[in-house]
Amino acid sequence: MAIDRTGRSVTAALLIVLFVLLGLSLLIGPARFSSHEVLAALFCDHGVASIIVRDIRLPRTLLAAFIGATFGLAGAALQGLLRNPLAEPSLFGAPQAAAAAAAATMAFGFAPALSIAVPLAGIMGALLSVGALVAIAGRHASLTVTLLAGLALASLAGAAIALILNLAPNPYIALEITFWLLGSLRDRSMAHVWLAVPFMLVSWVVILSNARAFRLLTLGEDAAVSLGVNLGRVRLLTVLGTALGIGASVAVAGAISFIGLIAPHLVRRFYGSDPARILVPSALAGASLLLASDIAVRIVSGAVEIKIGVLTALIGVPFFLAMIFRERRQLEDVSQ
């Protein structure tokens, strides 16, 4: 009961933080407007203010929220599926694979940047990466095997990106793709929102439909099967849902790292050990993290804007190392 009350309170707090960050994201920028002016510009025609708020800040805000939520939800789902606290899309190359596929589509002229083929290519790249991890890890994956498989897949995707840049027929296209790969929400329009968000919403539905299976998997695979869980179906749907969301996200924003790792760990202590209960809170935390990162980028950037993918990596790497040291201390305590 105490966990339930705490969980409800934390969920309410996450919703409040998310709405505050959404408002701040619409307010912050080179052109300064009051909150009243921003609200008026959203719903009425206020000339330049409406153009800035609706066409520049609103798409960026919506994409940050949806992409952050997608990464947070995907990270929580993969941790539940693999029963591994370090499972996260970027640790085994899903964003890198999605970026490689999307970059190849643009670099070699298969489709323009706003074509439906770009997120579809990103989805296929992420699908191959996540599916490969599940296949390599097997039924009884250890942490070491999972991380080694992830390192191999991420390295392969990185090599593919380097090859694409090397073979790009136009050096200006290669430079543009290089900057895009750093991850950014700048200069995104509502066309990007309408292109990517439907894939993300489908991924949410697919992942959340497996919440009960993630809960039962905490009892072990044999017990889960005896309780009616179809492991093959759960793995397939989780892979498909993760690939849909991550592929679409990377296709419009480039590579963004560690949100899927950090978000579930920020909320897990408040919801107990049930992976099903942290799915929605992880999505809320992921949306808040990416919104806060995007706001920070706009505040601290000068003539050249810091890429949001760079910032999330700078935040995520120390967090990841702290988790590794904590796991090592726990192992040392058990062995003593």
Q: What is the pLDDT of residues 232-261, one digit of tens each?
A: 788 888 888 888 898 889 888 888 888 988
pLDDT at 331: 66
Task: Encode 153-164: b = buried (16+ Cβ within 10 Å), e = exposed.
Answer: bbebbbebbeeb
pLDDT at 285: 95
Secondary structure element (H or E) that encloses residue 167, with its range: helix 143-167
Instruction: Domains for the chain: give ranges and CATH numbers.
Output: 54-335 (1.10.3470.10)
CA distance 221 to 138: 12
3-class secondary structure per residue, 300-331: HCCCCCCCHHHHHHHHHHHHHHHHHHHHHHHH
CA distance 168 to 174: 6
pLDDT at 66: 97
Tell me which residues of the chain have a pLDDT lower than 50: 1
CA distance 88 to 62: 23
pLDDT tens digits, one per residue of 184-204: 888 888 888 988 899 999 999
pLDDT at 204: 96
Secondary structure element (H or E) that encloses residue 64, with its range: helix 58-82
CA distance 297 to 277: 31
Task: Encode 9-36: b = buried (16+ Cβ within 10 Å), e = exposed.
Answer: ebbeebeebbeebbebbbbbbeeebeee
pLDDT at 334: 65
CB 81 within 8 A of CB 240: no
Instruction: Compute the residue count for the chain.
Output: 336
pLDDT at 142: 60
CA distance 24 to 19: 9
pLDDT at 319: 78
pLDDT at 320: 74
pLDDT at 218: 85
pLDDT tens digits, one per residue of 254-265: 888 889 888 998
Q: Whose structure tokens read 């609200």?
A: 39
Sorted by sequence, the CB contacts under 8 Å of residue 174 that are 6+ apart come out as: 107, 165, 168
CA distance 274 to 216: 9
CA distance 201 to 70: 9
CB 277 within 8 A of CB 271: yes
Q: Whose structure tokens read 């949100």?
A: 259
